[in-house]
Structure 1
Amino acid sequence: MTGPLATGRAGGADAPPAGAAPLPARVGRGPAADGRELTGAVHSWDLSIGVDGPGTRFVAFLAGCPLRCRFCHSPDTWYRRSGRHRTVDELMAQVERYRRFISVAGGGVTISGGEPLMQPRFTGEVLRRCHALGLHTALDTSGFLGARADDALLDATDLVLLDVKSRDPATYRRVTRTGEIGPTLRFGRRLAARGTPIWIRFVLVPGLTDAPDNVAGVADFAAELPSLQRVEVLPFHRLGAHKYAELGLTFPLAGTEPPTPELLERVRGQFAARGLTVA
């Protein structure tokens, strides 16, 4: 969902840069107590405006995800092996290159994926380091692994972009092809109890997530959260279909059309009717 501004190998990261250091043998482990040598599987990074949190943002996409959402536009991030091993220092060196730019632009740093909570130690340390620099920090997550986010990680997180696939358990399983909605709901309520700002993201897919009762369920959950700032209704698109072809996979929603303006208006209206700010 990001909009690249184009820098370096942003959004791609298909090959290591010339002169890169040898890759560590393991991911998520490191001897340094301060986390500087901690390594993570980083798929790519990008710059985006207004779609991964407020302002212009440096977005790091980590590799690995436990879900297999039918509408996923990044199947190339499903496995950790699709990422490059990077230390916290290496990723922070990239952040530093754009630190002044994103600060002046009222932005910050977003850790996305894949699912960043598959690598909670690495994610937490990057967030902590960014927070210490005075940068606004955001965590983009499905919440399915929310129990892995300890208090220290959340203390360094200024905003959580919470992907709520569905409120209905059966629909959630159809969407994700695995997993349960319970962990996401518990994580959202935990964030609200802490006072952590939340943006809920809901992907609108005709014939899959658009049922009025399903939308109403997500809206009811959103209305429970006192720290919720907005709901983003994201129209389904097929822009990632070529990635499935490149990976030899079948795109599950190849025959599904994006939502019509009328459907989008109806769903946004359901959220707005609960007194929620809708984007």
Structure 2
Amino acid sequence: MKGYVHSVESFSTLDGPGIRSVVFLQGCPLRCQYCHNPDTWQMNEGNLVDSAEVIARVLKNKNYIARNGGVTISGGEPTAQIDFLAELLKGFKEAGLHTAVDTSGYVDLDDIDRIIDDTDLFIVDIKHMDPEKCRELTGRSNEKVLALLGHLENLHQAVWIRNVLLPGFTDTEKHISDLCAYVQKLQNVQNFEVLPYHALAKAKYQDLDLPYKLDGISEFDSKQLLQYQDMIQKYYSKKFSIQHDAWM
């Protein structure tokens, strides 16, 4: 089966446990204002590649990624190409690799059930806890991602959760307290990451002749991040991290 692939990264330490290869699929139904890969939005762009070719490319690195790492399939939104995604995951599992799917959560649960047996970890992005704020930020509400997280908890499926700390949207105490209260109740969350906003993708928008809606918003300095770390600790008693180098 063929699918549209944006790119493949051979070695990453930011996309799941250990050292991992990351396959970025093309296509995404969201339009997150802070997205750093707007070149993945369109479905039928990128490279049209056979799944066997992608699997073979990743397996060239098996000796380096198999012991404590694995392969993560990201995007775009990988579930937007659910047939292709299912075939990749099945191939990677048959090869003995730990598999992760990095998703916005904008996916039907029937599609998740198709890939659940071949996915060891879901890395799920919570964009905003308020459905209207989420729609303003991404173009879609948070209904599907919250349904997904409830479904994965019922299945006892391992989950990492990420949230971008964005000035004016997700840096308020109400959002942080609501987010922490929600995540704290989930029994299957193994990792909770907060990713500070950065503007490194601005040049991509210019190259693609797309408006950069966050122009003028400042990045966080180290003092501000310490303040937010203290705020998160106020509401969240489990382990979390503020990933200065990670992005989504």
TM-score greater than 0.5 by the shorter chain = yes
Q: 1:1-279 alignment to 2 at 5 Å?
A: 38-104=1-67, 106-176=68-138, 178-272=139-233, 273-279=235-241
Counterpart amino acid of residue 211 in structure 2: T
The alignment covers a number of residue pairs equal to: 240
For 2:19 and 2:32, how far apart are their aligned partners in 1? Answer: 27
For 2:168 and 2:191, how far apart are their aligned partners in 1? Answer: 24
CA displacement 1:203-262 (0-9 Å, x = unmatched):
001112111111112112211210001110101111111111111112111211112334
User: Which position in structure 1 is the counterpart of 2:244?
Assistant: none
Structure having the higher Rg: 1
| Aligned-residue offset at 1:96 | 1.4
CA displacement 1:3-50 (0-9 Å, x = unmatched):
xxxxxxxxxxxxxxxxxxxxxxxxxxxxxxxxxxx1111111113432
State whether residues 63 and 79 of structure 1, in contact with CA within 8 Å, keep that contact through their aligned partners in structure 2: yes
CA displacement 1:170-209 (0-9 Å, x = unmatched):
2211210x11111100101111111111110000011121
Moved more, 60-69 or 145-154: 145-154
| Aligned-residue offset at 1:129 | 1.3
Structure 2 alignment gaps of length 5 or more: 242-248
Secondary structure of 2:157's counterpart equals coil
Superposition RMSD in Å? 1.4
State whether residues 13 and 19 of structure 2, in contact with CA within 8 Å, keep that contact through their aligned partners in structure 1: yes
For 1:209 and 1:150, how far apart are their aligned partners in 2? Answer: 27
Counterpart amino acid of residue 147 in structure 2: R
Bigger relative contact order, structure 1 or 2 (CA pairs below 8 A, ≥6 apart):
2
For 2:157 and 2:95, how far apart are their aligned partners in 1? Answer: 19
Counterpart amino acid of residue 125 in structure 1: E
In the superposition, the TM-score normalised over structure 1's length comes to: 0.82
For 1:141 and 1:236, how far apart are their aligned partners in 2? Answer: 18
Alpha carbons of 1:266 and 1:197: their partners in 2 closer, same or farther (altered >3 Å)? farther
For 1:240 and 1:148, how far apart are their aligned partners in 2? Answer: 33
Alpha carbons of 1:269 and 1:188: their partners in 2 closer, same or farther (altered >3 Å)? farther
| Aligned-residue offset at 1:132 | 1.6
For 2:157 and 2:227, how far apart are their aligned partners in 1? Answer: 29
State whether residues 171 and 209 of structure 1, in contact with CA within 8 Å, keep that contact through their aligned partners in structure 2: no
